[in-house]
Amino acid sequence: MAIGLAVVLLGAMALDTRVVTIGSEAGPVDDGFSAARFGPEQFPLVRASVEERAVEAGELAAAIAEDPAAAGERYGVAAGIGPVIPLSFSGVVGKGQAGIYPVDVEGIPDELTIRVQTGPAINGTDLRDATGTIEFGQFTNQIEYQNAGAAINDEMKAQVLADIDTGELTGKTIAVTGVFKLINPHNWLVTPVRLDVQ
């Protein structure tokens, strides 16, 4: 009797089994958000957008000094408490702390401090928000939305900062293209999409 039941069970399992050929349309379906996939897919798009729209720091500083709101609207992308603005500059790196370095940029007002973050921790979601095309509604929840920002930051570190000795930048001249969130018009914390040591 037990053997008969086992045969019936195996037969039922065989009838319920579906064989799927690798690469067929009946293959695995998209399993939703993947940070490991999202960062490498999105960072090149973010970088291209930022590089295309970047404003030279001196020109941007003058526009912000005249009217921060108008400058943010003209050059930036709305993102919560302040617009995210793309810019480019070069200058001499000062003494940093925790991977954040002030940069002495010629042609900007003395009261303006420009700093660039080089990690190991890259803070904020400025890269995620830089284009205006990555929005909360594209994700299941706030955790995925935050993870999307972290994934882009991680990919930036891999593509932009991995080959730079970020612990030895003081005194060197760097050229940077990146973004910052305009909250304090006198203090810009830039997240780079390109950083070249000259």
The DSSP result for 63-95, as a single string, is HHHH-HHHHHHHH-B--TTS-EEEEEEEEEE--
pLDDT at 27 over 60: no
Considering the entire predicted model, what is its pTM? 0.82
User: Over pLDDT 70: what percentage of the chain?
Assistant: 86
More confident of the two residues 73 and 30: 73
pLDDT at 49 over 90: yes
